[in-house]
């Protein structure tokens, strides 16, 4: 269930200035990029290892 994550990303989009960046560390098996892109815009993976990924997205 991604309900809490959806709220976090929605609020991040509301609070970030245009061009502001969100970085999120998450378990690599979780499907965060589509959620991030829905709320903020294009998502990229900055790093991954030991079962985790670091995602970055800028508010459009």
Q: Which domain holds residue 11?
A: 3-58
Confidence (pLDDT) at 60: 84
Cβ-contact 28, 52 below 8 angstroms: yes
For the stretch 12-15, contacts whose Cβ atoms lie closer than 8 Å and that sit 24 or more positions apart, written own/partner, are 12/39, 12/40, 12/59, 13/39, 13/40, 13/59
Closest to 32 (Cα-Cα) out of 51, 12, 53 = 53
CATH number at residue 23: 3.30.1370
> What are the Cα distances from residue 52, in Å, to 2, 11, 56?
17, 23, 13
Confidence (pLDDT) at 1: 82
pLDDT by position in tens, the chain (length 60) = 889 999 999 999 999 999 999 999 999 999 999 999 999 999 999 999 999 999 999 998
The structural domain count of the chain equals: 1
């Amino acid at each position: 269930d991604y309900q809490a994550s959806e709220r976090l990303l929605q609020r991040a989009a509301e609070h970030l200035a245009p061009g502001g960046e969100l970085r999120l560390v998450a378990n690599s098996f979780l499907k965060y990029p589509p959620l991030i892109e829905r709320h903020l815009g294009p998502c990229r993976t900055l790093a991954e290892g030991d079962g985790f990924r670091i995602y970055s997205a800028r508010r459009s």
